[in-house]
Amino acid sequence: MENGFEIQTPQNHFLPKLVDYYFFIDIPVSELAMKEEYVLPFPRLTFGYFFEHPFLVTNHSKNKSETAEMIISRLSTDQISVAPLTDRVKILGAHVKPFALAYLTNKNVSELPWVINTKELFGKKAESFQKKIDTCASTKEMFAEVEKIFRNTVLVKDLSQIETVIATIEAERGRASISFLADTVGVSTRMLRNYFHKYIGCSPKDYLQLVKLKQSVFQMKNDPSSLTSLSYDQNFADQAHFTHTIKNITGRSPKNIREDLPDFRFLQF
């Protein structure tokens, strides 16, 4: 475990289709650079179990707050912050693909709450999972239980069209048009929007923005080039347009994000 953080990729042959990786973090709040942290919108869902160390999750766009104990985040361009409510951060979780929820429930994803209470969505399965996690003696055992609950909850369904669209968006780094994406899978743009709301929980436009934001922040973190150069690399007309777009989604300028990147604990990059 490095700096209180450990990750593992799925071991089951099917689950990499849904899960990027499992993670576990256990660290005193006193070691965090920031006690409250804005979560950069990201084109992935996050499952998190917070043991007896819940977080306050605040949606500043909706002016709402929830206490996070065992939750799944929704894809969103809203401005959200998280803050620990105890003296320790202890989280077991997973970053999963944007269509993963559609494989775990038959509910319309766009109709689910902005923070999903896992126990309310999955009932006894979630309660049983919590009991098993609380008796695990090692991180390896916990990751095995997370993998088991994913494996046992996956529904049999064909989401190949939306999976193809998501793969195309990521391959094109968020630069594809909605009409091009619809043509890729042979549906109308209206049908594509319906697919996104039902299976992803946001519009195709919002998802394209999330992917472009991810690419931009990744480059800000790993490339010392100027923001002007970066804005052209990310296919923006100029730096002003780039700054306006990033600030509109995150509430922060690219300059502020780049300055704070070393301190972020919950970045998914």
Which of helix, strand or coil describes residue 5?
strand
Looking at the structure, tell me whether residues 77 and 186 fall in a common domain: no
User: Cα 175 to the chain's mean position, in Å?
Assistant: 20
Total domains in the fold of the chain = 2
Using the 3D structure, point to which of 94, 120, 153 is the last residue of a domain: 153
Confidence (pLDDT) at 53: 95
**Are both 118 and 179 inside the same structural domain?**
no
Note the pLDDT tens digit of each residue in 217-259.
888 888 888 888 888 887 787 888 888 888 888 888 888 888 8
| Residue 244: alpha-carbon gap to chain centroid | 23
269 belongs to a structural domain: no
pLDDT of residue 2: 53
Q: Determine the pLDDT at residue 144.
A: 97
Residue 195 belongs to what H/E stretch? helix 189-195
pLDDT at position 262 over 70: no
**Interstrand relation of 70-73 and 45-49 (parallel, antiparallel or unpaired):** antiparallel
Claim to verify: residue 9 and residue 108 sit in the same structural domain: yes
Residue 188 lies in a domain: yes
Read off the CATH number of the domain in which 204 is found: 1.10.10.60
Structural domain that includes position 241? 160-263
Phi, psi of 55, deg, nearest 5: -115, 155
Supply the pTM of this predicted model.
0.90
Q: What is the DSSP string of 46-112?
A: EEEE-TT--EEEEETTTTEEEEESEEEEPP--S-EEEEESSSEEEEEEEEE-TTHHHHH-SS-GGGS
What pLDDT is attached to residue 113? Answer: 95
Rounded distance between C-alpha atoms, residue 181 and residue 233, angstroms: 22
- pLDDT range class, residue 268, cuts 50, 70, 90: very low
Question: Cα separation of 217 and 27, whole Å?
Answer: 25
Instruction: Select from 136, 153, 170 the last residue of a domain.
Output: 153
pLDDT in tens, 176-220: 999 999 999 999 999 999 999 999 999 999 999 899 888 888 888
Q: Which of 127, 153, 179 is the last residue of a domain?
A: 153
